[in-house]
Structure 1
Amino acid sequence: MSGGRDGSDQREMSARADGLELPSILARLDADDPETQREAVMAVREVVDERPSACTPTVPKLRALLGRSEIDCDEGIVACLAALAADSPTDVAPSTDEIVSFVESTSSSRARTTAFRCLVSIATHQPGAVVDHVDSLVDVLEEGLDEWGLSLVSTLTRTHPQAVTSAVPVLVTALESDPERYGSTACPALGRLVRVEPEAGADDEILEVLVSLVRTGDPPLRADAIDCLGGVAAHEPTAVDAAVPTIARALESDAVEVRVVAARTIARVAAGSGTTVDPAEERLRERLADEEPAVRRNACLALGYSDALEARDRLETLSRTDPNVTVRNCASWAVGEIGASEIDSDRDCNTYLDCGFGSGPRFDPQCRPEPELE
């Protein structure tokens, strides 16, 4: 702060802010003098982190000042709004249009990051206030990746995935450029999007990126990438066929979450493609003895969908002896599926099989139990 006021005036302003003389601060934010307005913004900034609720009345005035070049205090203003949004997003949500406009226009990467953080707070509680701006925000991210910007996209994919599909390319770019930095945010978001737009996930470039992540040593990122491939396989199973050998190796991971999603994804490929998954069969049989019931369950489903004759005896034993009732039911279902294609096609296709997933025609693959993570 400089110009027009001596040090004693500045200290007085800070003291009043500490005492929250709100009428004085509001009046200064409304002043015609940019210097006075800037000092008022900084006074709010000094206390907003500790006493955000007391500063909430400043939101409309801060919004009006955002982007005003003559005040030259955008970083302070957007930092105040971010702190206020974290405390009371509903009070800051009406400022969304102005905050998005600021994100689009600012040349300060630091201020842009803070603005994205503010929008994340709003979107977490009122996603509808932000979702209409997705295309504009994605355009900004395409010019320069931002962790909070990607977090905003990820937040919106949880509630409005169909409205956020334009973000698929920027999420892929993030995974390609720096998976260690962006992977934990971008990969789950991409997984949610390919479930509503599977054709996008079947793109060769996206599949190549995901398969490369499956090979990484980081268990959470491996699990997210495999789960994303599972989302593709649920709708475009043949697109994931070539990735099965890589996913199969993940069945040997020490991380439970990796083994669970690997078995589930292979099950989805087998269920949809109508073919066996030979590269994974031996490892799937080994997973029937996994300590984690969800892994055993998904391995049963994968082997059943794969028509794995060599696994039938082991599955029969599991259907009687496994301590987990869901695993026993899935093993029983798999035994019934293996060899079913050899049965006379005139056999009653309305034979129903209930293994804890609801009933459906046994020979209609569309009605088979969908392998879901427990």
Structure 2
Amino acid sequence: MPDDLNRTSDGRQTVALIERSIALLLVLGLLLGVLAILRPFTTAILFGGALAIAAWPLRQALVRHGLRRGLAATLLLLLAILLVALPVLALAPGLADQLGHGAAQLHAYFAAAPERPAWLARLPAIGERAGSFWDEAVRAGGDLGILLAPYSATLRQAVLGVAGALADSAVQVILSLVVATMLWSQGEALAAALREIFRNLGGAAAERALEVAAGAVRGVGYGVVGTAVVQAVLLGLGLAIAGVPGAAMLGFVALLLAISQIGAPLLILIWGGAALRLFQQDQPVWGAFVIGLGLFVGTIDNVLKPWLIGFGVRMPMSLIILGVFGGFLAFGFLGLFIGPAVMAVATTLLQAWREAARRDA
């Protein structure tokens, strides 16, 4: 009889283990299915969430002043669209005119058969190729069609790649705005649910880590966008003071490059080209001024960005810098937001663990 009871008990435990295993596999399968469905929208969800968190104080101010949540979300959506769409619509015709004017000036310059500068051949790595290109430009009389004919296939592929990337980016931006608008409208319910989940999983420390992560994302948003705005304004004003045509358009292009982070090194093409134009027009003082301004604008983000990020989260500056640059290297543009958030959560959990250990000691 005892053997029969033991076998019955073992059988029930086996059945229970199998049932739990099946339930666990079903839950895992469900989670994998959800992740597969959301995977194409990962960028839009993460960036839209970061945008919603960054603008949340403004949203709360609108709600406190009597606006309904839906109306506040609509106003923020319109503001986000206007900040992007209006400058593009205003500057696009000027950009086309500037490109056409620049091509005409380049054609006229090389049509005059200018002598190749001596310093061109001394440029490291590219000196010989740059000199050959100069000679070809003089022989072609500045005709860009003749100069670029050997590279037509490569240029076509590059243009198609850039067009595809821009189209994908436009779609992601639209989806991000949709996600941000949904969060601005119904963000309280989601925030309350997340706090409850984190509280149940890890107590007050986990709930605090969620708040710190939101502060980190908000701080990085301020740091990235705020720094880009400062860089673009300084560069645009400096170019306008130096008398460079199209300074406003160049400032807006600088804003887009600085926000993208990846294109930030290309700022040298803006101020470098402007300085070269000033030197060619026998304005060496203004050319030197633009070079100094460009160097200042290009390096200010190393100081300004961590300082602005510090407004959103209280943690050591060294960890903020590691989170920003390490996250960017590991995850790309979104890593600028993910890196500091992860470092902030880890720091908060470690501090909570140390405080708990001191209380128990």
From the two aligned structures, give the one with the greater helix fraction. 2
Higher relative contact order (CA 8 A, sep 6+): 2
TM-score scaled by length of structure 1: 0.22
TM, length-normalised to structure 2: 0.22
